[in-house]
Amino acid sequence: MAQKDIGNKTPLHELKTTEQVMKYYDEWSKNNKYNKDMFEWEYSGPKETSETLSKYQNNKDIKIYDAGCGSGLVGIELKKYGFNYFDGGDISKELLNQVPDNLYNKLEQIDLNKKIDKEDNFYDVVMCVGTFTFAHVKAHALDEFVRITKKNGLICFTINEAIYINYGFKSKIESLVDNKKIKEIKLFKSNYLASKDVNAWLGLYKVL
Ligand SMILES: C[S@@+](CC[C@H](N)C(=O)[O-])C[C@H]1O[C@@H](n2cnc3c(N)ncnc32)[C@H](O)[C@@H]1O
């Protein structure tokens, strides 16, 4: 599938290492540019995922982990849907610095391609929005998301459609389902970044 360029930046598919990705977002955060671009491009990932979660999660006092939280756009949406406890982690210190005060319970710089320093069965929900894309976080992170989520908890994520098959996400999800680690609740092509003709799979899975 042809790769889509998003604006005048280095195309995402040219990024190769986590170091390059971190610098890319640190740079993009300057002058609030990431947030401004997302607003202007009508990026709908945070709203679509939060809305989907809210349809299947009535208890608003649950513990949520926002993996790859960036500047906190998912936290802002979760709050609108009534959720009030979320921790966040991201590789970009500069984006983390832009998360609004008092929105997240705890924030940390973290490389999600490595083991996550959290106990097993700790969160009720793991959200991961916009972070499964070129050179970002790899499919094996789903194993960690399952590990840190409580039984009968939920994981909700987007996967850029251009990497869904080629980067092993489809097969990883199928293997987790086959091995009865997760159960599909919803999987659909979301709008995500429709203004830039970039779509993503949106998945909501129950952890078994
Ligand atoms: C498109 S942004 C999405 C941010 C946020 N979830 C949102 O919806 O606005 C992708 C995020 O993934 C983060 N990221 C990329 N690679 C990462 C890694 N290895 N570990 C943790 N975060 C990473 C970036 O820093 C960036 O904040």
Q: Can you give the pTM of this predicted structure?
A: 0.96
Which of 3-7, 23-27, 53-57, 169-173 shows the lowest per-residue confidence on average (mean pLDDT)?
Answer: 3-7
27 in contact with ligand 1, CB cutoff 6 A: no
CA of residue 22 to ligand 1 center, whole Å: 9
Q: Which residue has the higher pLDDT, 1 or 149?
A: 149
What's the confidence (pLDDT) of residue 9? 64
**Positive or negative: CA dihedral 79, 64, 173, 55:** negative
- The residue whose C-alpha atom lies closest to atom 23 belonging to ligand 1 is 91
193 in contact with ligand 1, CB cutoff 6 A: no
Domains annotated for the chain, with CATH where assigned, are 12-207 (3.40.50.150)
Distances 172 to 15, 70, 164 between C-alpha atoms, Å: 22, 24, 10
176 in contact with ligand 1, CB cutoff 6 A: no
pLDDT of 1 strictly over 80 = no
| Average confidence score pLDDT of the chain | 94
CA of residue 151 to ligand 1 center, whole Å: 26
**What's the rounded mean pLDDT across residues 22-38?**
96
If phi > 0 it is left, if psi is from -120 to 50 it is alpha, else beta; for residue 166 that is: alpha
**What's the rounded mean pLDDT across residues 48-68?**
97
Distance, in Å, from the CA atom of 47 to the CA atom of 59, rounded to the nearest integer, reads 18
CA of residue 112 to ligand 1 center, whole Å: 9
What's the confidence (pLDDT) of residue 10? 72
Q: Which residue has the higher pLDDT, 196 or 123?
A: 123
CA of residue 181 to ligand 1 center, whole Å: 25
Q: Which amino acid, residue 78?
A: L
At residue 73, the 3 state secondary structure works out as helix
**What's the rounded mean pLDDT across residues 123-143?**
96
Residue 4: pLDDT band with limits 50, 70, 90:
low
- The residue whose C-alpha atom lies closest to atom 1 belonging to ligand 1 is 130
73 in contact with ligand 1, CB cutoff 6 A: yes
CB 69 within 8 A of CB 104: yes
Percent over 90 (pLDDT), the chain: 89
CA of residue 46 to ligand 1 center, whole Å: 12
98 in contact with ligand 1, CB cutoff 6 A: no
* β-pairing verdict for 106-109 and 149-160: unpaired
